[in-house]
Amino acid sequence: MYGMNIKIDEIDKQIGMNIRLQRIKRSISQEGLADMAGIARSTMGIVKRGEQSPSIQTIAKIVNALQIDMYKLFILDD
């Protein structure tokens, strides 16, 4: 939303939580998603925990594996 005060340090955590929610909806393990996306399991863990900003390439691999639209990872909770 325009003008919303976004806490930059919380974005990575929210993306990780959204990945987790989408993964659970599909009954996919974290390791399974990493394998499906073609990324290292350690990378998936880092992204899930919000410890590091994922690259756009990593995000694209994850959304392709989950078969979702990319925007769903960027929905921020109020």
pLDDT of residue 52: 86
Per-residue exposure over 15-32, b if at least 16 CB sit within 10 Å of its own CB, e if not? bbbbbeebbeeeebebee
Query: What tens digit of pLDDT does each residue of 21-55 get?
Result: 999 999 999 999 999 999 999 999 999 888 888 99
CATH code, 8-68: 1.10.260.40
C-beta of residue 62 within 8 angstroms of C-beta of residue 48? no
Which percentage of the chain shows pLDDT scores above 90?
Answer: 67
How crowded is residue 53: how many other Cβ atoms within 10 Å of its Cβ?
14
- C-alpha to C-alpha distance for 56 and 62, rounded to whole angstroms: 10
Q: At residue 5, does pLDDT exceed 80? A: no
* Residue written as token pair 């899930």: 48
Q: How far is CA 21 from CA 7, 15, 18, in A?
A: 21, 10, 5
Domain ranges in the chain?
8-68
